[in-house]
Amino acid sequence: MPELNNAKFAFDNAIKLLNDNNLKESVEQLNEIIKIEPNHIKSLNLLGMKKNQITSYKIFLNLIKLIQSYIKVLDMLRLVVSNLLRKHIKKY
């Protein structure tokens, strides 16, 4: 039964870390719980949710970078078209 008390204490600590915006430390705590008690459902569930959030956040950041790249490309294309139009108009 001491393992259950330790797991509960560790899980409560992981929750506190999350509430204090210490995601990395919280995930480390949850991984430690699972090493000691592989079937600790609350830790497995919370860890899965946090990993999913982290993955979603990374995807979101990558999409932002991609959009920024497209904006730069569109801006360059706008300049090219603008220059071509100016040159074409000057001919006539």
**What is the domain partition of the chain in residue ranges?**
2-91
Q: Are 65 and 29 in contact (CB under 8 A)?
A: no
Burial (CB < 10 A; 0-12, 13-18, 19+), residue 12, is exposed
Domain 2-91: give its CATH code: 1.25.40
pTM, two decimal places: 0.62
pLDDT in tens, 40-55: 999 999 999 988 888 8
pLDDT in tens, 3-15: 557 888 999 999 9
